[in-house]
Chains A and B, each alone.
Chain A
Amino acid sequence: QSVLTQPPSVSGAPGQRVTISCTGSSANIGAGHDVHWYQQLPGTAPKLLIYGNSNRPSGVPDRFSGSKSGTSASLAISGLQAEDEADYYCQSYDNSLSGYVFGTGTKVTVL
């Protein structure tokens, strides 16, 4: 059972900006642990998209950005493209569980 909550789906037209929220608690995000984001294209393995709340690995377009505040975090995709259709997961560390936790996942659809 995921302890990080995300909206099941978000959608937008090409070129638009969409945001995905990730809500945690004082045991994980609120405890100061960083939030990381992964993109999972259909039928493929997850790929690191954002680490340390707002950092992009080499090769990730700057259309993707992340932020964190309090017990929540957000992923924004600006200039939405058809190739961005995928599932997106946030991830952090939970002190109560003494383990890594993932969000429930959000499916992004490009209209």
Chain B
Amino acid sequence: EVHLVESGGGLVQPGGSLRLSCAASGFTFSNYGMSWVRQAPGKGLEWVSIIGSSGVPTYYADSVKGRFTISRDNSKNTLYLQMNSLRVEDTAVYYCAKKYTGSYHFDYWGQGTLVTVSS
């Protein structure tokens, strides 16, 4: 059974940094692209970033480009999101999601981790 477990969320001040992790199990992690999707409180879903199965390529939403970095460690079955220069509008639940090969959709999602950016 596929399991994705996010961690690393918390309260951070504007301009600060945070690194999220997503531990994967139940599938061959190194064979699949992985993505981060976020949801601000009471709002809809917003795609953040995606990474290929081997670590390349990587793509970002314009709203986070230049501030966030997605990466992965296939030896640890773990996906990461390094978030720098955080803004109040980055406050959201961040979900990691497994990409379905050959299609532009996500077939499994984690439970999410909350990031709050506030002074």
| Residues of A bordering B, CB below 8 Å | 2, 33-34, 36, 38, 44-48, 51-52, 57, 89, 91-93, 97-105
Contact = CB atoms under 8 A, between A and B. Distances in A.
Contact of B104 (A2, A34, A57, A97): A34
A27 to B, nearest CB: 13
A5 B100 CA distance: 24
Contacts of B107: 48, 51, 57
A51 B103 contact: yes
Given A100-B47, A104-B44, A46 B35 contact: no
Contacts of B1: none
A99 B59 contact: yes
Given A46-B45, A102-B44, 15 more contacts: A2-B44, A33-B104, A34-B104, A34-B105, A45-B95, A47-B109, A48-B105, A48-B108, A51-B105, A51-B107, A89-B44, A91-B45, A92-B104, A100-B104, A103-B44
B55 to A, nearest CB: 19
Interface residues of B, number: 23
B46 interface: yes
Nearest to B35: A100
A7 B47 CA distance: 20
Contacts of A57: 107
B47 A101 contact: yes
A89 B104 contact: no
